[in-house]
Amino acid sequence: MLIESMRDIGYSLETALADIIDNSITAKARCIRLLADTTSPDPSLAILDDGEGMTEDKLLAAMRPGSRNPLETREQDDLGRFGLGLKTASFSQCRMLTVASRRDGITCCARWNLDEVARTNQWLVEFLDDFTQIPWIDELGSSGTLVIWEALDRLVEGDGSDARSAFVSRIDDAAEHLELVFHRYLAGERGISKVALFLNGRQLEPFDPFHSSHPATQAGPVEKIKSGGQEVEIQTFTLPHHKKDPVEWERYAGKAGYLKNQGFYVYRGKRLIIHGTWFGLARQKELTKLARVRIDMPNGMDADWKIDVKKASAQPPYHVRERLRRIIETIGATSRRVYTARGRRLASDSRLPVWQRMQSGNEISYCLNPEHPVFADFAGRLPDDLKTDFMRVLEMAATSIPIDALFADISANPEQVSGSEMADDTLVHIVATTFAALRASGIDPEDAMQMMRATEPFRENWSVVSDELNRLLERCSDE
Ligand SMILES: Nc1ncnc2c1ncn2[C@@H]1O[C@H](COP(=O)(O)OP(=O)(O)OP(=O)(O)O)[C@@H](O)[C@H]1O
Ligand SMILES: [Mg+2]
């Protein structure tokens, strides 16, 4: 009964695999291979490493649920805590767990078969002498460990081809997640040894959620919070605006998208535990969606941070929460600036705004600027009775901007939202009218050109606009 309940403590395939990979990293493996047999009648999945391996005594201890005391202090680079992971992670996915290990040239192999445990009602782990039937056993190197999951009742549901392809895609999804969880090990950095991770021969690539190599990513300073002789390190990142990174924008959004992936990324021993949450200290808002904060904690603070058996959740201790709250406020401001800086330019930077942004009290509204030379010129050529009508037309257009739809589109797919293209003859007309109006107000031609260069829609269409302006300038000098 206990073992059946243990199967349901909430692992997913990726958290289960990550728990097994933790063990390999702790055993100083440099190369870890996920081996999946998705085609045979009895599909199986294995994790093979080239780490230190285990002696028979150690393997026996390792197979025991609760093999070590969670209160014990562990080596700094030990990713384990509870003495449970190997068993709980495996049983969450399979009914038969076989572990073969080689150390000092000696190979040993042990197996938990849940059907046997249920049948005999005894906690009997089996030690095998004949290794010939063990899949992938020939792949073990001079030292290392091979963890094999068979009887995958949770992973392969049914015999049909649909069940098989679902199995394959679950493994692929899990692999993608592992590229995030272990990205620092896959990329290598100071203080840890680089690890290569393969899925059936395909090498997995690190996925750095902070996009820290991009020049437009804004990284804050590293902050340290000390408590009880231990140190937590925090660094904030604001990812590039999509205009600065159109090529990779989608990739860095992650599956859940920027909005859901904003927040803290907590690493324990440089391995990601939890991400995309503000721990209830702030809401995940559109304006802070580019903010991601890296928190590095050592394994000695597991109890303070309430690390769970699956290594998939954590809660910051009380004394850290206040500091985190203040960090959210500052990073919120940076992330917001990436967006509002663009908004502001449209509204006020230009000296010839088509649109005006009006703020009164808490209300912000946008209206068309009747003094824009193109509007003013047109209104000036209308008889008085039509002037009022024209102003009403402008007002109607401005007050019916589909704000909600725009906001929804921009938040979902900002890169797909753009202004409509302007026809060349319209542009030429606007250039001529604006230029004439500026000249009429006493601005000399060169200055008028510079003003227009800084203003939309001229800036965006500058090659057409500058040709037209040069023609107009020539005409000025002829006169
Ligand atoms: N790939 C491996 N190579 C060498 N030793 C291993 C390997 N996997 C497991 N072990 C040994 O088995 C023990 C039990 O592993 P298990 O994952 O169950 O617990 P843990 O890693 O100590 O703690 P946690 O429950 O937090 O993962 C480990 O402490 C380690 O000594
Ligand atoms: Mg472990």
| pLDDT for 260 beyond 80 | yes
Which ligand number lies closest to the CA of residue 268? 1
Q: Is the CB of 51 under 6 A from ligand 1?
A: yes
Rounded-to-integer distance, Cα 195 and Cα 34, Å? 13
| Cβ neighbourhood burial of 224 (10 Å; 0-12, 13-18, 19+) | exposed
**What pLDDT, on a 0 to 100 scale, did the predictor assign at position 14?**
97
**Higher pLDDT, residue 437 or 85:** 85
- Tens digits of residue pLDDT in 91-129: 999 999 999 999 999 999 999 999 999 999 998 999 999
- Tens digits of residue pLDDT in 138-156: 999 999 999 999 999 999 9
Q: Is the CB of 50 under 6 A from ligand 1?
A: no
Q: What is the mean pLDDT of residues 210-219?
A: 90
- Give me the residue label for tokens 């004394």: 319
Q: What percent of the chain has pLDDT over 90?
A: 52
Let me know: does 79 contact 269? Beta carbons within 8 Å. Answer: yes
- Tens digits of residue pLDDT in 190-208: 889 999 999 999 999 999 9
What the block records as the tokens of 120 is 């005999």
Task: Measure 174 CA to ligand 2 centroid, in angstroms.
Answer: 18
- Do the domains at 2-203 and 218-343 have one common CATH topology? no
| pLDDT for 175 beyond 60 | yes
- Alpha-carbon dihedral sign for residues 448, 454, 458, 463: positive
Task: Measure 33 CA to ligand 2 centroid, in angstroms.
Answer: 17
Rounded-to-integer distance, Cα 448 and Cα 271, Å? 57
**What pLDDT, on a 0 to 100 scale, did the predictor assign at position 113?**
96
Q: Is the CB of 100 under 6 A from ligand 1?
A: no
What the block records as the tokens of 232 is 């937590």
* Ligand 1 pocket mutation, candidates 67, 106, 271, criterion most atoms within 8 A of CB: 67
Average pLDDT value over all residues in the chain: 88
Using H for helix, E for strand and C for coil, what is the string for the chain? CHHHHHCCCCCCHHHHHHHHHHHHHHCCCCEEEEEEECCCCCCEEEEEECCCCCCHHHHHHHHCCCCCCCCCCCCCCCCCCCCCHHHHHHHHHCCEEEEEEEECCEEEEEEEEHHHHHHHCCCCCEECCCCCCCCCHHHCCCCEEEEEEECCCCCCCCCCHHHHHHHHHHHHHHHHHHHHHCHHHHHCCCCCCCCEEEECCEECCCCCCCCCCCCCCEECCCEEEEECCEEEEEEEEECCCCCCCCCCHHHHHCCCHHHHHCEEEEEECCEEEEEEECCCCCCCCHHHCCEEEEEEECHHHCCCCCCCCCCCCCCCCHHHHHHHHHHHHHHHHHHHHHHHHHHHHHHHHCCCCCEEEEEECCEEEEEECCCCHHHHHHHHCCCHHHHHHHHHHHHHHHHCCCHHHHHHHHHHCHHHCCCCCCCHHHHHHHHHHHHHHHHHCCCCHHHHHHHHHCCCCCCCCHHHHHHHHHHHHHHHHHC
Taking the domain 218-343, which CATH number applies?
3.30.230
| pLDDT for 179 beyond 90 | yes
Q: What is the mean pLDDT of residues 218-237?
A: 86
Let me know: does 16 contact 89? Beta carbons within 8 Å. Answer: yes
Residue of minimum CA distance from atom 13 in ligand 1: 62
- Give me the residue label for tokens 């500052």: 330
**What pLDDT, on a 0 to 100 scale, did the predictor assign at position 376?**
84
Give one word for 296, left, alpha or beta, with left for phi > 0 and alpha for psi -120 to 50: beta
**What pLDDT, on a 0 to 100 scale, did the predictor assign at position 323?**
87
**What pLDDT, on a 0 to 100 scale, did the predictor assign at position 336?**
65
What the block records as the tokens of 180 is 């995030």
**What pLDDT, on a 0 to 100 scale, did the predictor assign at position 346?**
40
Rounded-to-integer distance, Cα 408 and Cα 468, Å? 37
Rounded-to-integer distance, Cα 19 and Cα 297, Å? 18
Residue of minimum CA distance from atom 1 in ligand 1: 24
Q: What is the mean pLDDT of residues 300-324?
A: 90
Q: Is the CB of 83 under 6 A from ligand 1?
A: yes
Q: Is the CB of 80 under 6 A from ligand 1?
A: yes
CA angle at residue 415 from 403 to 284, to 5 degrees? 65
Rounded-to-integer distance, Cα 125 and Cα 110, Å? 7
Q: Is the CB of 84 under 6 A from ligand 1?
A: yes
Indicate the domain borders of the chain. Answer: 2-203, 218-343, 355-478
| pLDDT for 369 beyond 70 | yes
**Higher pLDDT, residue 395 or 56:** 56
- Tens digits of residue pLDDT in 246-259: 889 999 999 899 99
Rounded-to-integer distance, Cα 37 and Cα 98, Å? 15
Picking from 13-17, 287-291, 352-356, which range would have the lowest pLDDT averaged per residue? 352-356
Distance of CA 210 to the CA centre of its chain: 8
Amino acid at 328: I
**What pLDDT, on a 0 to 100 scale, did the predictor assign at position 335?**
66
- Shortest CA distance to 84 belongs to which of 311, 411, 322, 309? 309
Q: Is the CB of 299 under 6 A from ligand 1?
A: no
**What pLDDT, on a 0 to 100 scale, did the predictor assign at position 296?**
96
| pLDDT for 345 beyond 50 | no
| pLDDT for 349 beyond 50 | no
Distances (CA, A) of 447 to 11, 444, 477: 67, 6, 15
Taking the domain 2-203, which CATH number applies?
3.30.565.10
